[in-house]
Amino acid sequence: MGIADMLFKRTSTMALTVIVGAFVFERSFDVLTNTIWDKINEGKQWKDIKKNYES
């Protein structure tokens, strides 16, 4: 409760929190959606079959 109040009380700190949060959110969202995509398309992409052709 105290931490959240400290961040949100001033507009400037709130803005900073939002910007940092946006970077964090974007990165984690990308990782999450990429994982879901790769899971759904298991074995169909080059990265999955690449090992069969390395010699």
Query: Contact 39/33 with Cβ under 8 angstroms?
Result: no
* Minimum CB–partner distance for residue 45 and another protein (Å): 13
* Minimum CB–partner distance for residue 20 and another protein (Å): 9
Binding site for another protein (CB under 8 A): 1, 4-5, 7-8, 14, 17-19, 21-22, 25-26, 29, 49, 53-55
Q: What are phi and psi of 49, to 5 degrees?
A: -100, 0
d(CA 4, CA 14): 10
Q: What are phi and psi of 4, to 5 degrees?
A: -60, -40
Nearer to another protein by Cβ, of 19 and 36: the residue is: 19
* Minimum CB–partner distance for residue 43 and another protein (Å): 14
